[in-house]
Amino acid sequence: MSADDFEGNEFESEACAYTDYTSGEAHEQYPKTGGGATGVERDVWDALYEVEDPEMPVSIVDLGLIYGVEVADDVARVEMTLTYTGCPARDMILNDVRCAALAAGVADAEVTLRYSPPWNVEMVTERGKEDLREFGLSV
């Protein structure tokens, strides 16, 4: 029996706990980098840009992890993803993102994790790829 014969996905989830070493496809709507954002939303994007991946000196915005920012009634709602579902830095990153959004001057911030669309390396911005190469990683 090969690994491909194994059917144990009772949750019918698309997410997987490892990175498939193939490139993946570029996504039309992603990455989102806050282009065109104004006012407080602009401030939130700018604050999020300052948050770096815990392993690498790259902005999480450049990594393509942020899927959306909305500010309404003085509350910032950030939708984001992680590079894989089992990411051990999950709580740390979520907390960093929430603190960054709060620092942009909103009364409260909610961070929601999404795994759709699944992240892949094509969601990294050109600047992000440069930063990764600078750090000594091949992208």
Partner 1 sequence: MRFDPSTRGEGPETGVECPYCESTNTVRDHPKGPGLCRSMHYCEDCEQPFERFG
From residue 3, give the alpha-carbon distance in Å to each of 8, 11, 12, 129: 11, 18, 17, 33
> Which residues, 60 to 89, sit near partner 1 by CB under 8 A?
83-84, 86
110 sits near partner 1 (criterion: CB under 8 A): no
Phi and psi angles of residue 94, each rounded to the nearest 5 degrees, phi first: -60, -40
Cβ–Cβ under 8 Å, residues 81 and 65: yes
Give dist(CA 101, CA 114) in Å, integer. 18
6 sits near partner 1 (criterion: CB under 8 A): yes
Stretch that binds partner 1, among 19-27, 30-38, 40-48, 108-116 (CB under 8 A): 19-27
**Shortest distance in whole angstroms from residue 135 CB to partner 1:** 8
Stretch that binds partner 1, among 7-15, 29-37, 67-75, 96-104 (CB under 8 A): 7-15
Give dist(CA 78, CA 100) in Å, integer. 11
Stretch that binds partner 1, among 33-41, 71-79, 90-98, 117-125 (CB under 8 A): 117-125
Cβ–Cβ under 8 Å, residues 97 and 111: yes
**Site of interaction with partner 1 (CB under 8 A):** 3-4, 6-9, 16-24, 55, 83-84, 86, 120-121, 124, 132-133, 135-139
